[in-house]
Amino acid sequence: MQVLRRVAETQRLSERVRCAGERIALVPTMGALHRGHRALLAEARGRADRAWVSIFVNPTQFDAASDLESYPRNLEEDLAVCREEGVDVVFAPSEEELYPAGAQTWVEVVDLSRPLCGAARPGHFRGVATVVTKLLLATRPHLAVFGHKDHQQLAVVRRLVRDLCLDVEVVGVPTVREPDGLALSSRNVHLGPETRRQARVLVRALRAAQAAGSGGEQRRDVLLALVEREIAKAPLARLDYAELRDPDTLEPAPSRLSGPTLLALAVRFPCGEGRTVRLIDNCVLHPRAAEEEGT
DSSP designation for 26: E
pLDDT tens string, the chain, 295 residues long: the values are 999 999 999 999 999 999 999 999 999 999 999 999 999 999 999 999 999 999 999 999 998 887 888 888 999 999 999 999 999 999 999 999 999 999 999 999 999 999 999 998 999 999 999 999 999 999 999 999 999 999 999 999 999 999 999 999 999 999 999 999 999 999 898 899 999 999 999 999 999 999 999 999 999 999 999 999 999 999 999 999 999 999 999 999 999 999 999 999 999 999 888 889 999 999 999 987 544 444 3
Q: 140 pairs with which residues across the strands? A: none
Report d(CA 16, CA 6) in Å as an integer: 16
CB 262 within 8 A of CB 282: yes
CB 36 within 8 A of CB 10: no
Strands (DSSP E) contained in 122-260 are 143-147, 169-173, 238-245
What's the pLDDT score for residue 289?
Answer: 58
What's the pLDDT score for residue 287?
Answer: 86
Q: What is the pTM of this model?
A: 0.93
Q: Domains in the chain, start-ordered, CATH in brackets?
A: 2-173 (3.40.50.620), 186-294 (3.30.1300.10)
**What single string gives the DSSP state of each residue in 220-246?**
HHHHHHHHHHHHHTSTT-EEEEEEEE-
Report d(CA 233, CA 214) in Å as an integer: 23
CB 242 within 8 A of CB 264: yes
Catalytic machinery residues = 37
